[in-house]
Amino acid sequence: MSYKLLSEPIRKYIRDKHWKSLRRIQAAAIEKIITTDNNYILASRTASGKTEAAFLPILSKADFNQAGVQVLYISPLIALINDQFFRIADLCKDLEIKITKWHGEAKKSLKIRLIKNPNGMVLITPESLEAMFVNAPYNVSTLFGNLKYIVIDELHSFLGTDRGLQLMSLLSRIQQVNKSQITTIGLSATIGDENYMEAKRLTGNISKTKVLLDRAKKETEAQFKYFKNVTAELPLNLLKDLYRETRLNKTLIFPNSRGRAEEIAVKLRKISDKANGHKYYYSHHSSVDKEIREHIEHFVKSDERFNFCISCTSTLELGIDIGMVDKIVQIDSTRSVSSFVQRIGRSGRREGEKSVVTIYATDKWSLLQSLACWVLYKKGFVESIKTAEKHYDILLHQLLSIVKQLSGCFKADLIKRLKMNFAFQTIEEQELSTIIDEAIQSDYLEIVQREVILGIEGENIVNSREFYSVFKPESNFKVIFSGKKIGDIPLSTQVKIDENIFLAAKIWKIKDIHAKGRKISVIPAKDGKKPRFYGEGGNIHPRIREEMLRILKSDESFSELDSNTNSALEELRFDFKGFQIDDFEYDKPTINKGDKILIYTFTGTRVNESLRFLINLTGHKEASLHDRGNSLELYINISDFKELVEKVNKAYDEIDDHLKLAVEENESLWRLHLPKWGSYLSTRYKCEILKERYFDFETAIDLINNIKLVEREKINHLSD
């Protein structure tokens, strides 16, 4: 039935590809997209054919003889656009449809040709779309005034993020210049059941957006290995085992930082050289130069004869096609189940193949967290996502963009446009007006002859290339060897002349640092000095921590653990054996150390940070977080805890005043926790953003009011 609905050129494409049948998500999408005008979220596992599921019916239904671009494909990554270009071009080869890449690295001549004769399909990032609204708003209406379809790839990467709010606003602004209703199709492999409403919100029309869900799961084979780490570097026996595990495979290795990725790539190559193994060991992350990354992607995709090993970060977590991958390796726990799902899906992409993953842990807590993520993955859990409601930072960014787009407008018209924008439905009109007034006071805007225009500061902000993005930029320095750029690294106290650094799977010695030119000159390092290159932390969801406690208090065995790894888990279980836990949400293991207590909160990062902030307001000594935020150390006698809870509640009642004072007293510290455009707001709105996105005071106060401090029945030594 679905096949017959397709146009003849598309049916010919399927026949030429010798497809035996359509996949489930493709058959469902073809029927729904062709026969209705609804928006759709196509949710199915990685490599299930979602791209074709969207484009087969769109290419059959759209009339490309009409004026203007008919299809707009939006991707989170330029690399994914470049990758998907060839895939979509292959679909369109018999249709004479022009496909244009529109991003900072695309050919300008092709963009000019499209503007002169708008037609076909455009592949773009949110940042390039923003730049078009700001610098050439007439191109938006020229190109997209008759747009019929928008396809959003890797939809989950936008949900609950500032970038997702920016995209939501941009989609609304496109709709405002369009002559007809646009159909939006979102593609994702990792949207949890609780997140479909957020996915629908992104389209701007919840009631008209339907979810097509293929629950079929790919079989996954996992094994866990434990190698205790006592230094900053990975243990040699882990690296040797990792080499044996990967030397005969095509492998992606996911550590949790760029520095670790570099360390692994360099050291595995050294081991391989000594063992006369292959030489194809690479690092792939945002600090590696784009040309080097593209060379790696091209090699592994085009040459199937050789095994390879890429040590990477989230740059290869999304759907860039790098060909067949045999195995995934995770070094220490991912920070989310969603990320874990995405990484696992990078292997076993052929139909009928299973995913293969090996998880290495370097301490017991990382092992426990990795195991919790695995258990939740098998249960089908993915972290719930909630789009910020008090996104005043993105509001400010977009109102500056709109004022520039319109070359000025009346305040009432600006407020009307913002109220119509479906990204800002949760912000009151009075708040819109106040933020505009504050922007005028800060000279981001000014009023001339009753019209709101950009002020001097606003012009400086909007005219900067940094304006198009809502990402916080790193203060990076270019790393240069013999006049050729190797990559970028953030300047830190570890970056000094004669120190060694990891980058692009090699070790380099810093010879000179050009502060003004933001350049670092290097040569290959041969002195054996240990290099350093650090990464960053991340938020852990409360459900992961709760699952960690459940595993500790259960006697369930896991076939995925070898004997050494199982012993490490049993040691940790023994440490918590004396604690009687009945309620995993509120019963918390507690160690009484006389003048202080150690509470194992087993809750999320935001809740822990909120608890620490509230407790520090009570006048007690500094409350410290340990074990990646999994335990809270308080300098207080356990008998005084009830009194502390009362003081915490009192502090919570006045939290707005306390937070305002904290931000005003140490603005530079809190700036680190604010989103990029949050620092341009008044203190009042900064505090609202922090409360919603950095803290979770409501859950924290619920926990401390209902917490039961469970001391162990029998004294055992609790390991670190």
Write out pLDDT tens, residues 473-485. 666 788 898 888 8
Q: What is the CATH number of the domain that holds 413?
A: 1.10.10.10
pLDDT tens column, 151-175:
999 998 899 899 999 999 999 999 9
Q: What percent of the chain has pLDDT over 90?
A: 59
Confidence of residue 534 (pLDDT cuts 50, 70, 90): very low
Does the pLDDT at position 220 exceed 60? yes
Coil vs helix vs strand at 8:
helix
- Mean pLDDT confidence for 484-489: 84
Does the pLDDT at position 633 exceed 90? no
The last residue of one of the domains, among 328, 349, 379, is 379
- Please indicate, yes or no, whether residues 198 and 245 belong to a single structural domain of this protein: no
- Please indicate, yes or no, whether residues 621 and 599 belong to a single structural domain of this protein: yes
Q: Give the per-residue pLDDT at 525.
A: 87
Spatial contact of 697 and 652, defined as CB atoms under 8 Å apart: yes
- Mean pLDDT confidence for 575-583: 93
Residue (of 487, 527, 491, 485) closest to 504 by Cα position:
487
- Mean pLDDT confidence for 89-115: 88
How many CB atoms sit inside 10 A of residue 638's CB? Answer: 18
The answer to whether residue 258 is domain-embedded is: yes
Q: Residue ranges of the alpha helices (H) in 522-678?
A: 542-552, 563-575, 605-616, 641-653, 655-665, 667-671
- Mean pLDDT confidence for 67-75: 95
Of 62-71, 389-398, 537-546, 656-665, least confident by mean pLDDT is 537-546
The answer to whether residue 563 is domain-embedded is: no
The last residue of one of the domains, among 420, 435, 468, is 468
- Please indicate, yes or no, whether residues 480 and 331 belong to a single structural domain of this protein: no
How many CB atoms sit inside 10 A of residue 597's CB? Answer: 21
CB half-sphere exposure, 325, CA atoms < 13 A = 27
Residue 79, φ and ψ in degrees, nearest 5: -60, -35
- What's the whole-model pTM score? 0.86
Does the pLDDT at position 622 exceed 70? no
Q: Give the per-residue pLDDT at 233.
A: 87
Contacts of residue 305, Cβ cutoff 8 Å, sequence gap at least 6: none
- Dist CA 686 CA 680 (whole Å): 9
The answer to whether residue 448 is domain-embedded is: yes
Sign of CA dihedral 409, 411, 412, 416: positive
Q: Give the per-residue pLDDT at 549.
A: 95
How many CB atoms sit inside 10 A of residue 692's CB? Answer: 16
Confidence of residue 279 (pLDDT cuts 50, 70, 90): very high
- Please indicate, yes or no, whether residues 234 and 269 belong to a single structural domain of this protein: yes
- Please indicate, yes or no, whether residues 518 and 653 belong to a single structural domain of this protein: no
Q: Give the per-residue pLDDT at 621.
A: 61
Does the pLDDT at position 530 exceed 90? no
Does the pLDDT at position 608 exceed 70? yes
The answer to whether residue 538 is domain-embedded is: no
- Please indicate, yes or no, whether residues 165 and 37 belong to a single structural domain of this protein: yes
The answer to whether residue 717 is domain-embedded is: no
Q: Give the per-residue pLDDT at 192.
A: 72
Greater confidence, 308 or 594?
A: 308
- Please indicate, yes or no, whether residues 413 and 340 belong to a single structural domain of this protein: no
pLDDT tens column, 334-386:
889 988 988 888 776 666 678 899 999 999 999 999 999 999 999 989 888 88
- Dist CA 48 CA 65 (whole Å): 31
The answer to whether residue 719 is domain-embedded is: no
The answer to whether residue 153 is domain-embedded is: yes
- Please indicate, yes or no, whether residues 414 and 519 belong to a single structural domain of this protein: no
Q: Give the per-residue pLDDT at 274.
A: 95
Strand partners, 510: 522
- Dist CA 39 CA 210 (whole Å): 6
Sign of CA dihedral 327, 331, 337, 338: negative
- The domain containing residue 292 runs over which residues? 220-379
Spatial contact of 285 and 306, defined as CB atoms under 8 Å apart: no
Q: What percent of the chain has pLDDT over 70?
A: 93
For residue 297, give the H/E element and its range: helix 290-302
Coil vs helix vs strand at 438:
helix
- Please indicate, yes or no, whether residues 159 and 13 belong to a single structural domain of this protein: yes
- Mean pLDDT confidence for 484-506: 76
- Please indicate, yes or no, whether residues 183 and 226 belong to a single structural domain of this protein: no
Q: What is the CATH number of the domain that holds 205?
A: 3.40.50.300
Reading phi first (left if > 0) and then psi (alpha if -120 to 50, else beta), residue 332 is in left
Does the pLDDT at position 629 exceed 90? no
Does the pLDDT at position 676 exceed 80? yes
Q: Give the per-residue pLDDT at 84.
A: 87
Angle at 187 between CA 186 and CA 189, to 5 degrees: 140
Confidence of residue 591 (pLDDT cuts 50, 70, 90): very high
Q: Give the per-residue pLDDT at 717.
A: 47
pLDDT tens column, 289-306:
888 888 888 888 777 788
- Dist CA 172 CA 398 (whole Å): 11
The answer to whether residue 536 is domain-embedded is: no
Q: Give the per-residue pLDDT at 32.
A: 96
Does the pLDDT at position 716 exceed 50? no
pLDDT tens column, 411-450:
999 999 999 999 999 999 999 999 999 999 999 999 999 9
Q: What is the DSSP string of 89-150?
A: HHHHTTTT--EEEESTTS-HHHHHHHHHS--SEEEE-HHHHHHHHHH-HHHHHHHHTT--EE
Greater confidence, 492 or 466?
A: 466
- Please indicate, yes or no, whether residues 248 and 148 belong to a single structural domain of this protein: no
Side-by-side strand order, sheet with 149-152? 99-102, 121-124, 71-74, 149-152, 183-188, 39-43, 209-213
Burial class (CB in 10 A: 0-12, 13-18, 19+), 249: middle
- Please indicate, yes or no, whether residues 398 and 343 belong to a single structural domain of this protein: no
- Total domains in the chain come to 5
Confidence of residue 580 (pLDDT cuts 50, 70, 90): very high
Most confident range, picked from 228-232, 488-492, 584-588: 584-588
Q: Residue ranges of the alpha helices (H) in 333-386?
A: 337-344, 364-379
Question: How far is C-alpha 578 from the chain's CA centre?
Answer: 39
pLDDT, the chain, mean: 89
Q: Give the per-residue pLDDT at 319.
A: 58
CB half-sphere exposure, 340, CA atoms < 13 A = 29
Greater confidence, 202 or 719?
A: 202
Q: Give the per-residue pLDDT at 471.
A: 84
pLDDT tens column, 254-275:
998 888 999 999 999 999 999 9
The last residue of one of the domains, among 213, 248, 263, is 213
Confidence of residue 626 (pLDDT cuts 50, 70, 90): low
